[in-house]
């Protein structure tokens, strides 16, 4: 049901044009160039500090990015305290050109998920999903409804994964290769990818820009469903079932509350890519295909988002046999 998108990448070159309104002496030009060079050398670049640098358009410039790597800049950092047997987080911050967006782990009606993969050395471990990929933490996505319902991020987003360090830290460091992949869209879509190397034994400073970006991302992670909520799967048949969500008696939301599904093989919403409700009861018809579950037990999972900019909760529920 998801549409795969592809793009052709064009390599374009740009030239800087300098015009003069008056004639200046050669000595003045040399002096000005020296001042500009010294000023540039004295200013540290943002990319060197682990912050994605997204170029802004000068006034009058209309050229859009031509590749996914032009539209999205990725900075990878290690955040935490490197202690034997402790944990740190690998954080990837995506800086996105204004007007464009990338996708959540379930892109929705179209698009492609943003991914983060690791090459970990021996002795390091990370929680994994059922498909073997790292369990990456995504903040709550925005919902885009421009003819299609999709889920993702604009401007900037940080995703992360927690890594447990070995009981003894090697003297030579703990190098890790981090690969990222994304689809970035506006009126058209561009595929992008990146690769970075970091040392788990050398985290960034706690007050650095990557650490602040990670803290903001972790604050926006969905929380476990609190007590008082009732979840069940009813009316289970060979190819259908119904997710039933009942809010507690003291529940109140700003207008509608909604359910955004995770990508669960073999289980899809019967209609659309998002379910919404008012009041305390939400019923979501599901379409099942046990042959598409890759041999894993069927389950329904996703986020409950309460009202506009309200709390968000994550859950995962097995679907019993009919």
SS (H, E, C) 1-23: CCECCCCCCCCCCCCCCCCCCCC
Superfamily for the 66-221 domain: Thiol:disulfide interchange protein DsbD, N-terminal domain (2.60.40.1250)
> What's the first-to-final CA gap in the chain, in angstroms?
24
> What are the residue ranges of helices labelled H in the chain?
26-42, 68-71, 209-219
d(CA 4, CA 266): 18
- Select from 1.20.1270, 2.60.40, 2.40.30, 3.30.70 the CATH code of 224-318: 2.60.40
Q: With a threshold of 0.85, does the pTM exceed it?
A: no
Minimum mean pLDDT range among 27-41, 179-193, 275-289, 295-309: 27-41
- Residue 212 three-state SS: helix
How is residue 270 written in tokens? 């019967």
Tokens of 133: 């990929």
Identify which has the larger pLDDT, 102 or 52: 102
> pLDDT band at residue 267, thresholds of 50, 70 and 90?
very high
The domain locations on the chain are: 66-221, 224-318
Residue 23 confidence (pLDDT) above 70: no
């Amino acid at each position: 049901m998801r549409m795969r998108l592809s793009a052709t990448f064009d390599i374009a070159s740009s030239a800087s044009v300098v015009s003069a309104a008056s004639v200046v002496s050669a000595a003045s030009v040399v002096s000005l160039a020296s001042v500009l060079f010294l000023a540039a050398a004295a200013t540290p670049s943002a990319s060197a500090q682990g912050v994605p640098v997204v170029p802004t358009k000068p006034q009058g410039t209309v050229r859009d990015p031509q590749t996914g790597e032009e539209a999205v800049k990725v900075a990878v950092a290690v955040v935490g305290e490197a202690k034997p047997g402790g944990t740190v987080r690998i954080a990837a911050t995506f800086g996105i050109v204004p007007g464009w967006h990338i996708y959540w782990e379930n892109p929705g009606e179209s698009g492609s998920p943003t991914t983060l993969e690791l090459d970990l050395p021996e002795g390091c471990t990370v929680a994994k999903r059922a498909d073997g990929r790292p369990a990456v933490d995504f903040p709550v996505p925005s919902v885009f409804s421009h003819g299609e319902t999709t889920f993702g991020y604009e401007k900037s987003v940080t995703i992360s994964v927690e890594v447990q360090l070995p009981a003894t830290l090697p003297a030579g460091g703990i190098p890790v290769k981090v690969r990222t992949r994304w689809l970035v869209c506006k009126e058209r879509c561009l595929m992008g990818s990146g690769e970075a190397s970091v040392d788990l034994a050398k985290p960034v400073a706690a007050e650095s820009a990557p650490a602040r970006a990670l803290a903001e991302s972790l604050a926006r992670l969905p929380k476990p469903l609190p007590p008082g909520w009732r979840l069940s799967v009813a009316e289970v048949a060979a190819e259908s079932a119904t997710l039933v969500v009942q809010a507690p008696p003291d529940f109140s939301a700003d207008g509608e509350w909604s359910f955004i599904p995770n990508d669960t093989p073999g289980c899809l919403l019967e209609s659309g890519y998002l379910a919404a409700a008012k009041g305390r009861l939400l019923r979501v018809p599901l379409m099942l295909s046990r042959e598409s579950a890759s041999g894993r037990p069927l389950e329904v999972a996703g986020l409950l988002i309460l009202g506009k900019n309200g709390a968000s909760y994550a859950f995962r529920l097995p679907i019993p046999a009919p």
